[in-house]
Structure 1
Amino acid sequence: MSRGKRGAFLCPADQQYIYKGSDFLTTLLSVSVALMVGLLMTRAFKPLKLPAVTAYLIAGVLIGPYCLGALGIDGLGFPSGESVAALSLISEVALGFIAFSIGNEFRMEELKKTGKQAFVIGVFQALAATLFVDLALLAVHFIMPDKLTVPQLITLGAIATATAPAATLMVVRQYKAKGPLTNLLLPIVALDDAVGLIVFAVSFGIAKTLVSGQVDLFSIIVNPIVEIFLSLLLGAVMGWVLTQLEKLFNSNTNRLNLTIGAVFLTAAISMIDFHVGPVHVSFSSLLVCMMLGTVFCNICPLSHDLMAGADKWTSPLFATFFVLSGAELELSVFADWAIVVIGIVYILFRCLGKYSGTFVSAKMTKCSPEICKYLGVTLFPQAGVALGMCSIAMQLGAEGTLIRNITLFAVLIYEVFGPVMTRQALTAAGDITPIPHEVKMRRHTKLAEAKERKTK
């Protein structure tokens, strides 16, 4: 293939010019508009004191297929779900860095203080959410048997375990939350992914058995164990490799570039998916990148500085990720009354399960009254992991479509209101403190300093 005029390639087969620039232009414009609209939306919602993640999600809805995207103007918004999905690379990388940051919360000195509590609460609240949703949807099944089947309710109960690590981490970062509740929250959110994978694999295996009449022990037992074990092993190996490579560089810039490159590489490797006989070999990118961060922060003496540098680099990436998440929200699910009714039941009883499970297990592990009262609220957000589960549920065919739509409805509600409730809970627990006056006046101070330098 030879190059013709700028921005085109000459195809020898038919000697025609194929212009490539317009696709790149549209993609770059779309990403730029997503980031800029998201940032402007945070300013617009500042008087309402909403978390930035909520503003980003609303910005995504604004430029998504149901608002500006419907105009069909290239670069102004996203005209379809497929156009958003085309940028899924950004979401995969962002989730990798989010998991890497959460891995930083598993430092041994902190785990010695909170590890037992985090494990007990993490497992208990996930199982409680499944139990509450299963029982509630079973009642709905008896009332509306033609709208909700047993395989569907079992699968939805398993999806209820999932908590959104991204939204939770963004709220913690934005408000610089620190304290006993935050120290427990992030490890629990990370553990929730592993528990959710196991519960979903078992529940979905049972659901498939009920639909097909065939028992698949590999899907129910072997595959989830293999996925979790290999994910943790791969993350640990990559964390060790990153630590050894870091020793080769003296420059902070080079070490930071190496760290960022390692997260990219780890996220890419975790996408590998193949079969060895009846065993399905796959990885959870969240678990892999979380383990990468966990091993790295515990064996690398310079991990504090490098992870802090990576956090600054990822700020625009996270903002774009949440705007794209908002653009993916499926507003059409509101058109089906059955989805709305079942979705409301799912949302309410998942929240009850999360809160009750957290409250009881926090009491059992002798947590403070503030943690018992407010920790459960911070576990309400739900997004990426749940959407991944419902995409697997599409293997059930027509029954999987209802599961997907109910999950999309729930994610829409959770993503908009969940971060707000997380912020309120962290504030009530005392982990978020008011912004000091000097920080609020930082811009004015810097402008005054710049003006003073000019006059000298």
Structure 2
Amino acid sequence: MEYPDLPILVTAGLIAFLSLYAGKLANKIKLPSLIGFMIVGVLLSPSLAGLLSEDIQSSLQFITKIALGFVALSIGMELHIKELKRQGPGIMLVILTESFGAFLVVGLAVFLLTKDPALALIFGAIAPASAPAGTVAIIQEYRARGPLTKALYTVVGFDDGLGIIIFGFAFAVAKAIISSRTGLETMTLSAAVLTPFREIGLSILVGLVMVLVFTLLSRTLDSSRDRFILTVATVLFTTGLCEYFHLSEILTNMIVGMAFTNTQPVKTSREIDESLRAIMPLLFLFFFTLAGANLHIAALPSLGVLGLVYILGRAAGLMGGAWLGTSLGRMEDNLRKYLGMGILSQAGVAIGLSLVVKQELSEMGSSGIQLGAMVITTVTATCIFFEIIGPILTKIGLTKAGEISLPQKNKESTS
């Protein structure tokens, strides 16, 4: 169905109206409000009502980037050095085991199904990528507090960096395998595997430089309002640099937040954190509504056996890896039981990696084009599942761990 083009602000206002009340309705049936936001996005998407056309989504895409920037900043601001030391090496072990667990289980499962090592490496490499926005949205909506909450912030913050490294190595090997089949020359393996290290190194460097800039500029400001405006400017500028230089928006802004909270006065950090919590619900509303609009219903029938294997393998790898890491690290029972439930969300980063796969393989002949199409279709379809089930399981895990203690009435008022 085609609609006349509405002014972009009218469309944005309509999204806010509908998603606000859809979120309230989701709360009424004991679901996180972001599920209501996503449903509105799906209903307005090109697959159904068609109000959020591809052009309109493209016009509003900057909101998604801004939201991701602030999500990453908020994650970083929870990563206090003293707290990380208190969590001990066990939390780093968890990040390693859940990321490599997803990579190995998905890779092995896809290989057993397809007998194609290149395809197995590609799907395995995409599996560790997470969507921290879903986890952070649940934590903030329900004001969760406790060891599990702190561990989730750490894991979803750092596993994207490790995921980028895994993808860089595995995809480089996959391309070498495909290239040897087709007889085409491609970049050397050594050059390919250096790319993720370059991205991570530059992301850390840009993040640290932006904190230094913030520190120097903030010395001339004496009000919390002005410091908050400077914080917003820092996130916008940092996110823009990431887009321009093709860096990780999540990792870079997380470094900004982490450096910020560990170098600035406690009073300043607390002021900024309170201000962020005031605007995050609105950013989440737009972010998840637009995410829903991107989850094309037409992709669901193409899920097939490969998609089911990917879903089961990724869930088993992440949850099993988290359990293994918390067990080896001798972490407390609540983390061992419920940490894996909070890290299943997957969306933007995974779809972005699948787009990289499609673009890179399109230059490698018809077999490369077929593989690329298979990857992006499967990942897009499975993200629908993970974006719905991930936040729900995060809420269940936090509730069972006793870290969501607000009465339901108050929960609704925060969504």
Asked if Structure 1 and Structure 2 have the same fold, meaning a TM-score greater than 0.5 normalized by the shorter chain, the answer is yes
* Alignment partner of 1:154 out of 121, 130, 139: 121
Give the distance between the partners of 1:182 and 1:440, measured in 2 at CA.
17
Residue 113 (1) aligns with residue 86 (2): yes
Contact 1:54 1:417 in 2 (8 A): no
* Deviations 1:161-216 (CA, angstroms, capped at 9, x unpaired): 01110000000000111111111111111111111000001111111111222462
Residue 35 of structure 1 is matched in structure 2 by 16
The correspondence of residues 206-221 of structure 1 with structure 2, limited to 5 A, is: 206-213=173-180, 214=185, 216-221=188-193
Residue 320 (1) aligns with residue 292 (2): no
Flag the 1:440–1:173 CA change in 2: closer, same or farther, 3 A.
closer
Residue 343 of structure 2 is matched in structure 1 by 379
Q: Which amino acid in the other structure matches residue 83 of structure 2? A: E
Contact 2:128 2:163 in 1 (8 A): yes
CA positional deviation for 1:117: 2.1
* Alignment partner of 2:52 out of 78, 87, 91: 78
Residue 78 of structure 2 aligns to a residue whose secondary structure is: helix
CA positional deviation for 1:106: 1.3
Q: Which amino acid in the other structure matches residue 101 of structure 1? A: S
Give the distance between the partners of 1:414 and 1:436, measured in 2 at CA.
25
* Alignment partner of 1:46 out of 5, 12, 27: 27
CA positional deviation for 1:235: 0.2
Residue 235 of structure 2 aligns to a residue whose secondary structure is: helix
Flag the 1:39–1:442 CA change in 2: closer, same or farther, 3 A.
closer
Give the distance between the partners of 1:441 and 1:89, measured in 2 at CA.
27
Contact 2:27 2:412 in 1 (8 A): no
* Alignment partner of 1:419 out of 391, 394, 401: 391
Rg bigger for which structure? 1
CA positional deviation for 1:218: 4.4
Residue 66 of structure 1 aligns to a residue whose secondary structure is: coil
Contact 1:167 1:419 in 2 (8 A): yes
Contact 1:103 1:293 in 2 (8 A): yes
* Alignment partner of 2:138 out of 171, 185, 194: 171
Flag the 1:132–1:430 CA change in 2: closer, same or farther, 3 A.
same
Flag the 1:112–1:32 CA change in 2: closer, same or farther, 3 A.
same
Residue 100 of structure 2 aligns to a residue whose secondary structure is: helix
Give the distance between the partners of 1:341 and 1:441, measured in 2 at CA.
38
CA positional deviation for 1:28: 1.3
Give the distance between the partners of 1:286 and 1:413, measured in 2 at CA.
22
CA positional deviation for 1:82: 3.9
Contact 1:235 1:291 in 2 (8 A): yes
Contact 1:59 1:323 in 2 (8 A): yes
Contact 2:110 2:119 in 1 (8 A): no
Q: Which 10-residue stretch deviates more, 379-388 or 211-220? A: 211-220
Contact 1:228 1:284 in 2 (8 A): yes
CA positional deviation for 1:56: 0.9
TM-score, normalisation: structure 1: 0.83
Give the distance between the partners of 2:19 and 2:205, measured in 1 at CA.
37
CA positional deviation for 1:118: 1.9
CA positional deviation for 1:436: 7.5
Residue 357 of structure 1 is matched in structure 2 by 321
Residue 7 of structure 2 aligns to a residue whose secondary structure is: helix
The correspondence of residues 323-342 of structure 1 with structure 2, limited to 5 A, is: 323-336=289-302, 339-342=303-306
Q: Which amino acid in the other structure matches residue 51 of structure 1? A: P
Residue 403 of structure 2 aligns to a residue whose secondary structure is: coil
Q: What is the root-mean-square deviation of aligned Cα atoms in Å? A: 1.9
* Deviations 1:93-127 (CA, angstroms, capped at 9, x unpaired): 11011101000121122112115222110111100
Give the distance between the partners of 1:235 and 1:441, measured in 2 at CA.
35
Q: Which amino acid in the other structure matches residue 67 of structure 1? A: L
Q: Which amino acid in the other structure matches residue 247 of structure 2? A: F
Residue 244 (1) aligns with residue 216 (2): yes
Give the distance between the partners of 1:426 and 1:405, measured in 2 at CA.
32
Residue 127 (1) aligns with residue 100 (2): yes
Residue 347 (1) aligns with residue 311 (2): yes
Give the distance between the partners of 1:440 and 1:105, measured in 2 at CA.
21
Contact 2:145 2:403 in 1 (8 A): yes
Flag the 1:404–1:219 CA change in 2: closer, same or farther, 3 A.
farther
Give the distance between the partners of 1:207 and 1:89, measured in 2 at CA.
32
Flag the 1:196–1:442 CA change in 2: closer, same or farther, 3 A.
closer
* Alignment partner of 1:396 out of 332, 351, 361: 361
Residue 366 of structure 2 is matched in structure 1 by none
Residue 308 (1) aligns with residue 274 (2): yes
Contact 1:167 1:381 in 2 (8 A): yes
The correspondence of residues 192-341 of structure 1 with structure 2, limited to 5 A, is: 192-213=159-180, 214=185, 216-273=188-245, 282-301=246-265, 302-336=268-302, 339-341=303-305
Flag the 1:387–1:127 CA change in 2: closer, same or farther, 3 A.
same
Taking only the aligned residue pairs, the percentage that are identical comes to 32
Contact 1:169 1:186 in 2 (8 A): yes
Flag the 1:135–1:436 CA change in 2: closer, same or farther, 3 A.
closer
Flag the 1:365–1:251 CA change in 2: closer, same or farther, 3 A.
same
Give the distance between the partners of 1:27 and 1:390, measured in 2 at CA.
29
CA positional deviation for 1:43: 2.0
Q: Which amino acid in the other structure matches residue 102 of structure 2? A: A
Give the distance between the partners of 2:413 and 2:128, measured in 1 at CA.
42
* Deviations 1:218-255 (CA, angstroms, capped at 9, x unpaired): 44321111110110111011012112211211122111
Residue 44 of structure 1 aligns to a residue whose secondary structure is: helix
Contact 1:270 1:283 in 2 (8 A): yes
* Alignment partner of 1:180 out of 132, 142, 147: 147
TM-score, normalisation: structure 2: 0.91
Give the distance between the partners of 2:254 and 2:238, measured in 1 at CA.
10
CA positional deviation for 1:440: 7.7
Residue 190 of structure 1 is matched in structure 2 by 157
* Alignment partner of 1:429 out of 367, 391, 401: 401
Give the distance between the partners of 1:89 and 1:237, measured in 2 at CA.
23
Q: Which amino acid in the other structure matches residue 52 of structure 2? A: F
